[in-house]
Structure 1
């Protein structure tokens, strides 16, 4: 993502674990979709990254985090919706995420995926450790 010209408008920084094979797989997928360079993936292992997102190392390992160009911070399924919003250049996925019921379903699915990420594409790394 850093090779592409940055777009003005709605942008997102996404904090991810580069030691997690599934996280790296997902970031690769986001990079392919992000043709305008609106989403920047930042590995939590990068010096100062965790502090820049305002989370602890444990929180960063627990779930994905995103900060958008408005300064709003998102976690878990919200962070994924923020990244998708960045790719689209608008906040539609985040608006949809705020609908009662949608948030609860997406949060439950996010927790299910997070618990089973060692079984998903991109296996290996720290996610494979039980």
Structure 2
């Protein structure tokens, strides 16, 4: 995982999804400064830690940044990228193209099982994914 002390925000993803696990792997690779804390929503207390429900986390990736605002879906992806690369460019682009990006995000999310993935996080780290019940 990332270093929560240095992190500027927390990204919550579906740890049972191979495609999602691959995507957060790419994100970790470009997060050279440890700006994000990446956690599966299946870990106990993680949804609550960002002010989300399990159902919201099941529906879309969630991000809670240093500003304390929780974002989901394509907006979350852009906010995370902004934090990782240290510029607001992705979030600015999102504001100009949010409708298209959200539709694309929803389509990818609905078909994520068809995209190349890897062994899901919760399969390789089962102790971290112990709780998926109501928060």
Same fold (TM over 0.5): yes
Shift in alpha-carbon separation, 1:36–1:62, aligned structure 2, 3 A: same
CA distance in structure 2 between the partners assigned to 1:98 and 1:32 by the alignment: 26
Matched, 1:89 2:86: yes
Q: What's the counterpart of residue 113 of structure 1? A: 108
Root-mean-square deviation (CA, aligned residues, Å) is 1.9
Q: What's the counterpart of residue 26 of structure 2? A: 29
CA distance in structure 1 between the partners assigned to 2:33 and 2:106 by the alignment: 29
Q: What's the counterpart of residue 39 of structure 1? A: 36
Gap runs ≥5 in structure 1:
126-130
Q: Is the 8 A contact 1:38 1:89 kept in 2?
A: no
Deviations 1:29-71 (A, max 9, x none): 1011111111111111111101112122111111000000011
CA distance in structure 1 between the partners assigned to 2:4 and 2:46 by the alignment: 21
Which residue of the other structure, out of 62, 83, 87, is the alignment partner of 1:65? 62
Q: Is the 8 A contact 2:3 2:37 kept in 1?
A: no
CA distance in structure 2 between the partners assigned to 1:72 and 1:5 by the alignment: 18
Shift of 1:123: 6.1
Q: Is the 8 A contact 2:21 2:118 kept in 1?
A: no
Gap runs ≥5 in structure 2:
121-135
Bigger drift between 58-67 and 46-55 goes to 46-55
Number of corresponding residues = 120
Shift in alpha-carbon separation, 1:36–1:107, aligned structure 2, 3 A: same
SS, match of residue 122 in structure 1 = coil
Matched, 1:49 2:46: yes
